[in-house]
Amino acid sequence: MSLQLALALPLLLMASLLVRTVYNLQRADLGFPARQLLLMRVDVREFASSGPARAAVLRALRDSIREVPGVQHVSYSQLGIFSGGESSSSIAVEGAEAGAGDTESAMDVAGPEYFSTLGVPVLLGREFNDGDGESPLNPVVINEAFARRFFAARNPLGMRITMPNDGQPVSYSIVGVAGDARAQDLRGAIQPRFYLPARDRASSANTPTFVIRTSSDSVALMAAVRHAVVNRRPVPILSAATIESQIAPLVAQDRATAQLALVFGGLALAIAAIGLYGLLAYGVARRVGEIAVRMALGADADSVVAMILRETVALVLGGLVAGGGLAYGASRLVSGRLYGVEPGDPVAVVGATALLLMVALSAAYFPARRAAAVDPMRALRQM
């Protein structure tokens, strides 16, 4: 019986940790407000054979979407948000801290007002605007993690980032520092990232993702935004989703794992409870004579129930002690899947232990009450 309890504890602890992981992932700090945000990826290659043509199409689509009632801000980027895509480039950073040197950094290509549309604060300088499409400045915006890595506490505005562009080195001047925001994943530290204006890469915005901030229910505006896109230019819409729908696949595996752990934890708990109930019911049936003698000598029903429950607690504690080591190993086994919770989280440990103890005592209560209901005179006559 103690073995069943010992096996149930690690399964319950794993389930608790994984459920809390899913909860934390669904409420992860993205660096921008996730509510009322639509993402729509389109294919403009058919209408944009050159950079200027592509810029004109994107500007027209942006203007059309912005005219939809309920739309507050519109912008776009090459990779979009939580699309699963990623891009990086080798760079040389002017004025970088000693030891940073030439390296690689994640990058994206973004349209005007991209950060204000997302709701990411611009900490220094400015974000891209419509004039950057024609500006010879070669502007670039970096995130806070990029600034920390390469410039520490120094002001990075005006410094230059050099990177290859079609085989030729091109320098970009830092015009802004945006706050850290998650772009493609929910786990781990936010990596250094820089953003180029959309006009700078020949293929950068062939299949851009429009980021649309709304003032009301995003789902309700989806059809209107689709109509606005197709009505202005019949470009293929590759995907359209709310930010919540876009993030959901990133949590799907964790949710499935947590659900599986809950099923196994629940089964282990049920088996332990049934086993304990059966064991105590059998034990009470064999001790009817002893219980009758106790009651004949003056023991009342409450003292009989307390006696059975004390014996149950001793049995359960033995199982919990044995299961503690297994629970420790199980929590370390899933540590790589956890987010926002430690393997030895006291809330999870106490919760799993308390649940197991509560169910065990509940299973023991009914045989204990049956023992307390014994008629001592009748039981003694049958001995």
What stretch of H or E contains 134?
none
| Other beta carbons less than 10 A from residue 189's beta carbon | 7
- For the chain, helix, strand, coil in percent to 5 are 50, 20, 30
pLDDT above 90 coverage of the chain, percent: 20
What stretch of H or E contains 284?
helix 243-286
> Average pLDDT in the 338-353 region?
85
Give the three-class secondary structure for 127.
coil
Burial 3-42, CB ≥16 within 10 A → b, else e? ebbbbbbbbbbbbbbbbbbbeebbebebbbebebbbbbbb
Name the most confidently modeled range: 229-243, 283-297, 319-333.
Answer: 229-243
- Per-residue pLDDT of 176-233, as tens digits, reads 999 999 988 888 889 999 999 876 554 456 788 999 999 887 788 888 888 888 877 7
Q: How far apart are CA 254 and CA 28, in angstroms?
A: 14
> Average pLDDT in the 275-296 region?
65
Res. 12: pLDDT tops 50: yes
* Choice between 18 and 315, residue whose per-residue pLDDT is larger: 18
Q: What is the pLDDT of residue 100?
A: 62
Spatial neighbors of 79 by CB under 8 A, at least 6 apart, are 85, 86, 87, 108, 109, 183, 184, 209
Alpha-carbon torsion 144, 146, 152, 157, what sign? Answer: negative
Helices (H) and strands (E) in the chain — how many of each? 10, 11
Q: How far apart are CA 352 and CA 288, in angstroms?
A: 34
Q: How far apart are CA 14 and CA 341, in angstroms?
A: 12
Res. 323: pLDDT tops 80: no
CA angle 146-209-117, nearest 5°? 65
Crossing angle of helices 243-286 and 301-333, in 10° steps, is 140
Crossing angle of helices 2-26 and 301-333, in 10° steps, is 60
Q: What is the pLDDT of residue 92?
A: 87
- Per-residue pLDDT of 264-278, as tens digits, reads 888 888 887 787 777
Res. 379: pLDDT tops 50: no
* Cα 304 to Cα 58, 288, 300, 374, distances in angstroms: 81, 11, 7, 10
Q: Is 198 exposed, middle or buried (0-12, 13-18, 19+ CB in 10 A)?
A: buried
Q: How far apart are CA 88 and CA 65, in angstroms?
A: 30
* Choice between 56 and 165, residue whose per-residue pLDDT is larger: 56
> What are the structure tokens assigned to 374, written together?
């014994």
Res. 70: pLDDT tops 70: yes
Which range is least confidently modeled, 3-12, 19-28, 187-196, 241-250?
3-12
pLDDT above 70 coverage of the chain, percent: 82
| Other beta carbons less than 10 A from residue 66's beta carbon | 14
Which range is least confidently modeled, 97-106, 243-252, 254-263?
97-106
* Cα 267 to Cα 156, 261, 351, distances in angstroms: 57, 10, 17
- Per-residue pLDDT of 130-184, as tens digits, reads 877 666 678 999 999 999 999 887 899 999 998 877 667 888 999 999 999 998 8
* Cα 23 to Cα 26, 191, 225, 339, distances in angstroms: 5, 23, 31, 9
